[in-house]
Structure 1
Amino acid sequence: MVSHYSRRSVLMTAGLVLKLFVIVLVGGGAASGQQASTAEAISAERLAGNYQLPNRTVIGIDSFAGGSGPPVPLFTDYTTGIIRTLFPLGGDRFVMGPGFGVQSPVERTVRVVRDTAGAVIGIGLQRSGEDEVVASRLPSTVREITFTNEDATLAGTLITPPTPGPHPAIVLLHGSGPLTRHSFGPYPRFFASLGLAVLIYDKRGAGASTGTFFPRTAFYPEPYLRDAVAAVKFLKARDDINGGQIGLWGTSEGGMLTTQVAAVENVAFAINSSGFMMPLWEQVLYNIEAQLSADGFAATEVADAVRFETMALEVMRTGSRWDEYEGAQAAALQTKWWSAYFGSSKGFSSLEGIRWQWEHIYRFDPLPALRTVTCPVLGLFGALDTSTPAQQTARNMENVLRAAGHRDVTIKIFEQANHPLMDARTGGNAEIPTLARMAPGVFDTIRVWLSSRITPAP
């Protein structure tokens, strides 16, 4: 059985919305040919952690939820880049298949190892016909935390090394949509494996966080920017954190946001993973064409969608051609590409609504703030990305920073990587469940780059 995936919009506002990548995992159950236990499976949160194999290779299990269901365990080998959802057999046993979201045929069985008191101290990994290999759990401290910004109380988790510190730290910033602390894939435990304290939190209005997700009077991305600044300030106030070595990592919307935070708050570094670096309306036009093409739509259908979106952007910007737009929207709603790209949205019902979209969201341009960033910057992009145009984004990012006199800028494009930097074939969403690993070099690039810019506490 293959789990199903879909995308979410960057903002859950009425009408047409920007579509960026979010994995949503649905389903579960025992893999084909495996006998499920009646015992309840251990939760992803309790299993999450880093584990060391006898050969000293470190692997991670993160608590991951891209949709509305409970988090599932996500297995990652930081050396090979292998990334797999763990599907429960019940109790303390799981299986992983040959792809990220594929359950069968079973590739490995995973057994939870406990001490006499019932605490998780390791995991056993076994391939068919081979001996089990046990990985020992590495110590860490996990705390539930809250911090505030304006109308929101942000709830999150702080993962720290077991030593007193003070530790270098990193704040992880979400992709688009009302996401929680469980939306970061393999990265929370990966960064923890490098000796950093890691702060993850539920986005405003999502999970256990309060506040309005996107206030009607707000201008994108201000609410998320101010929340992220509050997260950095929260860490700076802690005795166990080295306030001079707090950095940022983000993916998609969060990748863009790292640069905006770094422009207004003193941070040690910013890592932009697949975040757009151009006016938002330009990214929208690229996204609709690249996404539909990668998902197999005919060239005529793609051209039709691009023409429609171009008209929509003109109406948003100028307020003209509304009557013509209403007719075009009615026709577009009947097409296959509409539901594939916009989902269940019924479009705009008023000129006021479409104009609001431009004034409050689509006119945003991240480049002016980027010019003022002075901290070290790492940009990571995938050449097969259908949401963010890798070449243009990398060029804009480097040109703006270099022109401003910035000298510590590193940009890397992974030729076979998609939006979440997985080793891909087309970059389309439909293939994601079958993908087997992160693009070669992603984890190593981050590890090496950070090693010369932070110093873990002894």
Structure 2
Amino acid sequence: MSQSWLIAALTLVVSAVAVPALAQAPGADVDARPDPAVACHVGVYRLDDGSWVDVAPLADEGLRWRRLDGSTGRMMLDARGQWVSTLGFTARVEGPQPQLGSCEGGRIAFEGQTGRRLVLEVRETTFVGQGGTRLKGRLILPPGDGPFPIMVEVHGSEGANALDFNAFQRFAPTEGVGVFVYAKRGSGGSEGRYTQDFHVLAEDAAAAVVEARRLAGDRAGRVGLHGASQGGWIAPLAASLTPVDFVTVGFGLAYGALAEDSDQVMLDLKAKGWGADVLGQAREITDVTGAFIASRGAVGFDGLEAVRTKYRAQPWFGDIRGEFTGLLLNTPNEQIVAMAPVLDVGTSWDYDPLPVLSRLDASMLWIQAEDDTGAPPEATRQRLIDLAAQGRPVTLLEYPDTDHGIVRFETAADGKRTAIGYAPGYYQAVLDWARTGRLDGAYGDGRLLATPRR
């Protein structure tokens, strides 16, 4: 029987490590809030040597510190009231052990230095996005009176309120880069409903650019868009709707969302040691699951049943994961039907970014993780290199030994990865691109794979 609905919008993960499919429904985190017991400590702190430490909120318990060099750790209060920091995203008590003072004092002790929480100039606003939806936003300004570059932060697939959880809004202004951040529709006081419709989200982002310019007034310098993960589809699309000076994409894809699932399936199987013959058979499966998703289930279950019957007994069948293929293969049809209303978030499965990227005149910096399991980089890498060779304004910086989020990781005996920090140079590259539209010198061990042909 034909069904007409969108089965799933399983997300590109922005966090440091991938979560299992359906760990939560897309957008289920729209009501996430910072831990109220420690939220008063959130801010960016200037240390004695002039460097900074950002202290960010977490939705569950504790805080997260980070530095310009990519080092980071989770901070938790122990039974004695002392702060204990774990390395990266691990559970190991290792590395710097920063200590925070009272909420009122706004002080931090970090690696033998003291620091004071900075007071940033913030301009709150409500602006109108796609379809008249009213969105909450804010512009955070660097110190001074002169013009400054502005990054408009574009969400990934997360539903959580960026006004609470975006870290760039605190540390980028300390580096002279203003930030405009806004709550995605359906979160943080913004109207509307959570969606993964790229066209709707791009119109929201384009409206945010206009509002950022208005708020900054004559202090507005270069204004551009910074999007990560799913935001890599949305930021360039938004740039095609309103004039911008630059676009920065972190760990995004230059091809469509359906191909992402297929590439992830191939990575899963390769990781298990399966060869080209198995990959060819798996491609037949992903063609079927992709057609099912793209049609919003209208093609019915005949194709799924056929590949289940044909391949279920194969020893590699159980190793298939991907964004949604593993779910579709291993979930009874009636459960798929029952799950659909919860998981229908309007994802633009048919969107191909190539026409937009081929026409866009704004300078684009793409930053990729070489070993990205959430957004496999091979096809995107080649597409961006080709675009640069054709004279399009594309620069590609790739970090070896990193996963989704541009995070460094360690690998356990069972193959599971745990993030230990962000790649050195990653944050600096984002900030420099906003300031000048150029990458000068080295950015950690990032490799420049493409620059525009002059």
Instruction: Give the TM-score of the pair, scaled to structure 2.
Output: 0.74
Match of 2:57 in 1: 63
Q: Which of 243, 246, 249 is matched with 1:266 structurally?
A: 243
Deviations 1:81-131 (A, max 9, x none): 2111222338975221123242x43544332235xxx634321135xxxxx
Report if the CA contact (8 A) 2:140-2:173 is conserved. Answer: yes
Deviations 1:136-162 (A, max 9, x none): 333312344322222422223432224
How far has the Cα of 1:205 moved from its partner?
A: 1.5
Q: Which of 221, 246, 258 is matched with 2:198 structurally?
A: 221
Report if the CA contact (8 A) 2:151-2:224 is conserved. Answer: yes
- The one-letter code of the counterpart of 1:140 is L
How far has the Cα of 1:185 moved from its partner?
A: 5.9
Report if the CA contact (8 A) 1:386-1:428 is conserved. Answer: no
Q: 1:419 to 1:239 in 2, by over 3 A?
A: closer
> Does residue 180 of structure 1 match 2:184?
no
SS of structure 1 residue aligned to 2:87? coil
Q: Which of 28, 38, 47 is matched with 1:53 structurally?
A: 47
Match of 1:75 in 2: 65
Q: Percent identity between the aligned chains?
A: 22
Q: 1:390 to 1:327 in 2, by over 3 A?
A: closer
SS of structure 2 residue aligned to 1:145? strand
Report if the CA contact (8 A) 1:64-1:183 is conserved. Answer: no
Matching of residues 8-407 of structure 1 within 5 Å: 14-23=6-15, 42-44=37-39, 46-65=40-59, 69=60, 72-79=62-69, 81-89=70-78, 93-102=82-91, 104-105=92-93, 107-114=95-102, 119-125=104-110, 132-149=112-129, 150-181=131-162, 186-214=167-195, 220-240=197-217, 242-290=219-267, 307-315=284-292, 322-326=301-305, 328=307, 342=324, 361-403=348-390, 405-406=391-392
> Does residue 444 of structure 1 match 2:428?
yes
d(CA) in 2 for partners of 1:284 and 1:312? 9
How far has the Cα of 1:235 moved from its partner?
A: 0.9
Q: 1:113 to 1:317 in 2, by over 3 A?
A: closer
How far has the Cα of 1:270 moved from its partner?
A: 0.5
d(CA) in 2 for partners of 1:452 and 1:140? 23
Report if the CA contact (8 A) 2:77-2:84 is conserved. Answer: yes
d(CA) in 1 for partners of 2:156 and 2:242? 20
- The one-letter code of the counterpart of 1:390 is P
d(CA) in 2 for partners of 1:421 and 1:77? 14
Report if the CA contact (8 A) 1:95-1:106 is conserved. Answer: no
How far has the Cα of 1:425 moved from its partner?
A: 4.5
d(CA) in 2 for partners of 1:23 and 1:401? 29
d(CA) in 2 for partners of 1:305 and 1:187? 40
Report if the CA contact (8 A) 2:206-2:238 is conserved. Answer: yes
Q: 1:85 to 1:240 in 2, by over 3 A?
A: farther
d(CA) in 2 for partners of 1:344 and 1:242? 50
d(CA) in 1 for partners of 2:409 and 2:397? 16
Q: 1:168 to 1:452 in 2, by over 3 A?
A: closer
d(CA) in 2 for partners of 1:386 and 1:429? 16
> Does residue 410 of structure 1 match 2:404?
no
Match of 2:449 in 1: none
- Of 203-212 and 301-310, deviating more is 301-310
How far has the Cα of 1:248 moved from its partner?
A: 1.1
Report if the CA contact (8 A) 1:108-1:125 is conserved. Answer: yes
How far has the Cα of 1:429 moved from its partner?
A: 12
SS of structure 2 residue aligned to 1:23? coil
Report if the CA contact (8 A) 1:371-1:401 is conserved. Answer: no
Instruction: Give the TM-score of the pair, scaled to structure 1.
Output: 0.73
Q: 1:321 to 1:41 in 2, by over 3 A?
A: closer
SS of structure 1 residue aligned to 2:84? strand
Matched positions, count: 401
Aligned CA RMSD, in angstroms, stands at: 4.1
d(CA) in 2 for partners of 1:276 and 1:76? 26
Q: 1:337 to 1:194 in 2, by over 3 A?
A: same
Match of 1:36 in 2: none
* Runs of 4+ residues over 6 Å off in structure 1: 296-305, 329-332, 427-430
d(CA) in 2 for partners of 1:183 and 1:49? 11
Structure 1: which 5+ residue stretches go unaligned? 1-12, 27-39, 127-131
SS of structure 2 residue aligned to 1:436? strand
SS of structure 2 residue aligned to 1:237? helix
**Structure with greater contact order relative to length (CA < 8 Å, sep ≥ 6):** 2
Report if the CA contact (8 A) 1:94-1:111 is conserved. Answer: yes
How far has the Cα of 1:53 moved from its partner?
A: 2.3
- The one-letter code of the counterpart of 2:38 is S
d(CA) in 2 for partners of 1:430 and 1:93? 34
d(CA) in 2 for partners of 1:235 and 1:141? 14
Q: 1:400 to 1:453 in 2, by over 3 A?
A: closer
Deviations 1:16-46 (A, max 9, x none): 43441133999xxxxxxxxxxxxx97533x3
d(CA) in 1 for partners of 2:99 and 2:243? 44
d(CA) in 2 for partners of 1:148 and 1:91? 48
Q: 1:92 to 1:302 in 2, by over 3 A?
A: farther
Q: 1:63 to 1:297 in 2, by over 3 A?
A: farther
